[in-house]
Amino acid sequence: MESLDPAVRTVWTVKLALWTLGGVLLALAYEITHLFRPDRWLPWGFWIGAVLGIGGLLCWVVPRLRYRFWRYALLPEELILERGIFTRVRTIVPLRRVQHLDVAQDLIEREFGLVRVVLHTAGARYSTIVLPGLRPQQAAQLRERIKQHVLEDVL
């Protein structure tokens, strides 16, 4: 089984930090609107500190654990994905079921030179499978191997 590119930890950390920043802004809005309430019993800034503390802890722990437990393998007939911190999920994608494949990249992934491969398979439930944290050349190789298998299967 292969692991993802180590830079994906930084991508996940930045994304969690942005969510934490959103939470801090909401906590700040709450603190400002409840500043002069007579029944206020928590000190000013408590919720901001709580969001920063929990968000900071999550930014530190979650990306490292996600990276540790994310694995994938491309076998001749199938793609295997293993992931999950508390609940381990093993997804086996038969390559003959792949309908099309996308290589996607958001702004943060682009900054760190990473892409994610999105496989669309036949079926309704769980028909979209995402493999994050690959270098563009890894994704291109993966795409070519899957495309070659699909073409061989058709012929």
CB atoms within 10 A of CB 32: 10
- Rounded Cα distance between 135 and 139, Å, is 6
Q: d(Cα 21, Cα 105) in Å, to the nearest integer? A: 22
pLDDT at 39: 83
Decide which of 59 and 124 is more confident.
59
103-120 pLDDT per residue, tens: 999 999 999 999 999 999
Give the DSSP per-residue string, 108-126: HHHHTT-EEEEEEESSSTT
Among residues 37, 53, 15, the alpha carbon closest in space to that of 132 is found at: 15
55-97 pLDDT, tens digit each? 999 999 999 999 999 999 999 999 999 999 999 999 999 988 8
Under 8 Å CB-to-CB from 76, ≥6 apart: which residues?
149
Indicate the burial class of 102 (C-beta count within 10 angstroms; 0-12, 13-18, 19 or more). middle
CA Rg value for the chain:
21
**What pLDDT is attached to residue 147?**
86
Q: Where are the domains of the chain?
A: 1-66, 76-151
* pTM tops 0.85: yes
